[in-house]
Amino acid sequence: MTDARVTGLATLPNGTYDVPERDLAGEVLLEAIDDAGCTLSDVDGLYMPKPRPWTDQGFFTTLLEHQFGLELAESVETYTGGTSGGHAFQHAVGDVRDGSVERAVVLAVERNSTIETDDYLEYILSIFDREFQSPAGPTIPGVYAMSLQRYRYEYDVDREDIASVVVKNRENAAANPDALFDDPVTETDVLESRVVADPLRLYECPAPCDGAAAIVITRGDVADDHDGTGDGVRVGGTGAHHPSSHLLGVRGRSLAAFPAIAGAAERALGDADLGVAELDVLEPYTPFPHTEAMLTEELGLFEHGEGAAACARGQTATDGAIPVSPSGGCIGRGHPPMVTPLLNYAAAVRQIRGESPVVDDVGTVLTTSEHGHIDGVTATVFGGDA
């Protein structure tokens, strides 16, 4: 088995776009190919998170294949909510590693500006258990509000420490030209923003937006043959985990625990032959501040209940012991959920390439994606030795 390297990438700044999704996709496809120093003829795999229902264009990969004259050994669209991009990426890595594909493009595009809030909330009802949960009218912030409540109840976590995660990520986003937000906020701003679902506040919820990203994954021996762009950044390891849960916590476990994170990370780190202590940076998919704090705990970096306080002390800042979300994460960058996993991968690759404006000397990065109420998680490690 050979290894998989990221040899090219492209991201559009998160925001609002008024051209069709196909044009956003075409833009990042061509730019990523150019960044990889290859041509469209070199691409033999295309992997996408399936665009969500308000994207009018169906059969999106087929359309792109036809529009760009691709001839592929494999093309895949996955849909598992927020992990869709993560699973698409890991599928591509698997195909590249086992040799069935030489050069894969993972591409994600999403325009959340095209859906009305009412229609989005009705879509969200469809992902809950339609028979026994949806008639009660839940929302995504509603379930995260309850895990925030349990987290504070069980571990007596300081409310300001939770807000400090938002402050950190908005500050990090201010240095990221692709981020939706470029103005920092204070803890007071966060805790005085309007309540979305008690006790969760507006600045603690990720802002939906439009976005697109493409990543070129090349088989190790093929990447080595290429001159000009170096060998790329190695995909060190992949893992995923899904305990028995559907949006209300894992059966028999606390709502203030996300065991899918620990399970996915253990598998990815095992695949990469790395320990948590060897990670330089985390770029997680954590849309709400308590979930980022809890992720650092699930990884074993801090004791349970200590993650938010560690952030408030600066331990997860860009100059801290373990920088978390130096790109700004979901909260600072804005959040197009189909694209967010790729934005994490792009951030990781740019950090290892030495292109990050805020972190230096990065050799290994752990990224995640999650869906539902962190019911399922993918973890992908970048860097590390073959």
Partner 1 sequence: MEAASDPFWDALEDDRFLLPSCEDCGEAFFPPSRACPHCHATDIEWLESEGVGTLYAFTRQHRTAPGVPSPNVLGIVELEDGPRLLAQFASEYDDLEIGATVTLQTREYAGTVDRGRLEGRPFFEARLRD
Dihedral of alpha carbons 191, 196, 202, 206, sign:
positive
CA distance 138 to 371: 16
**Measured from the CB atom, is 96 or 196 closer to partner 1?**
196
Q: Which of residues 185-204 bind partner 1 (CB under 8 A)?
A: 194-200
According to the binding rule CB under 8 A, does residue 136 interact with partner 1? Answer: yes
**Measured from the CB atom, is 8 or 142 closer to partner 1?**
142
- Packed helices 60-67 and 21-36: angle between N→C axes, nearest 10 degrees: 60
Write down the least CB distance from residue 123 to partner 1, Å: 9
Write down the least CB distance from residue 263 to partner 1, Å: 18
According to the binding rule CB under 8 A, does residue 139 interact with partner 1? Answer: yes
According to the binding rule CB under 8 A, does residue 149 interact with partner 1? Answer: yes
**Measured from the CB atom, is 145 or 223 closer to partner 1?**
145
**Measured from the CB atom, is 200 or 310 closer to partner 1?**
200
According to the binding rule CB under 8 A, does residue 150 interact with partner 1? Answer: yes
Q: Out of 23, 130, 273, 360, point to the residue binding partner 1 (CB under 8 A).
A: 130
Q: Out of 173, 255, 257, 317, point to the residue binding partner 1 (CB under 8 A).
A: 255
Q: Which of residues 51-70 bind partner 1 (CB under 8 A)?
A: none
According to the binding rule CB under 8 A, does residue 134 interact with partner 1? Answer: yes
Q: Out of 30, 63, 73, 248, point to the residue binding partner 1 (CB under 8 A).
A: 248
Pairing mode, strands 364-371 and 4-11: unpaired
Write down the least CB distance from residue 380 to partner 1, Å: 29
According to the binding rule CB under 8 A, does residue 100 interact with partner 1? Answer: no
Cβ neighbours for 159, distance < 8 A, ≥ 6 positions apart: 152, 191, 199
CA distance 299 to 367: 12
According to the binding rule CB under 8 A, does residue 18 interact with partner 1? Answer: no
Q: Biggest alpha carbon distance in the chain?
A: 58
Choices 19-27, 96-104, 118-126, 235-243 (CB under 8 A): range interacting with partner 1: 118-126
Write down the least CB distance from residue 133 to partner 1, Å: 5
According to the binding rule CB under 8 A, does residue 275 interact with partner 1? Answer: no
Q: Out of 37, 85, 232, 249, point to the residue binding partner 1 (CB under 8 A).
A: 249
Give the residues lining the site for partner 1 (CB under 8 A): 117-118, 121-122, 124-125, 128-139, 141-142, 145-147, 149-150, 153, 194-200, 244, 248-249, 251, 255
